Amino acid sequence: MEKAYRIKRNKDFQNIYRRGKSVANRQFVVYTRKDASLEHFRLGISVSKKLGNAVQRNRIKRAIRENFKVHKDDIIPIDLIVIARQPSKRMTTLEIQSSLEHVLKIAKVFNKKIK
């Protein structure tokens, strides 16, 4: 993901947590916050140390990022934070992708119908 698509600063994370809306399924929690000044979405990823060692956490983050690369043009300009939950550490990349698509549909962040 390019720099412009990332949320990195703690201040931004806290702002989205406080003022944003959240939706969840068993594997992920997604916080969203609309920002009129954005031209495209911005993504923040949070994977707790409780989910495993660095290798496992980075695998989950890579799978989440890959899903957003695939749907880059389908997501409305919005700030998103994805938080991985415990069941996600036992999932394959394809399972992570389908679960993430499910929760993003619930959050209504797609600008058109996704299969």
Residues 8, 80: Cα–Cα separation, whole Å: 12
Question: Which tens digits make up the pLDDT trace of 24-79?
Answer: 999 999 999 998 788 889 999 999 999 999 999 999 999 999 999 998 888 999 99
The three-class DSSP label of residue 77 is coil
* Within a domain: 84: yes
* Within a domain: 112: no
In total, how many domains does the chain have? 1
* Within a domain: 32: yes
Residue 72's DSSP bridge partners are none
* Within a domain: 10: yes
The three-class DSSP label of residue 34 is strand
* Within a domain: 115: no
* Within a domain: 94: yes
pTM of the model: 0.90
* Within a domain: 114: no
* Within a domain: 23: yes
Q: Which CATH number does the domain housing residue 96 bear?
A: 3.30.230.10
Query: Residue 1: how many CB atoms within 10 A of its CB?
Result: 13
The three-class DSSP label of residue 36 is coil
- Find the domain containing 17 and state its range: 3-107
The three-class DSSP label of residue 111 is coil
Instruction: Give the pLDDT score at 4.
Output: 85
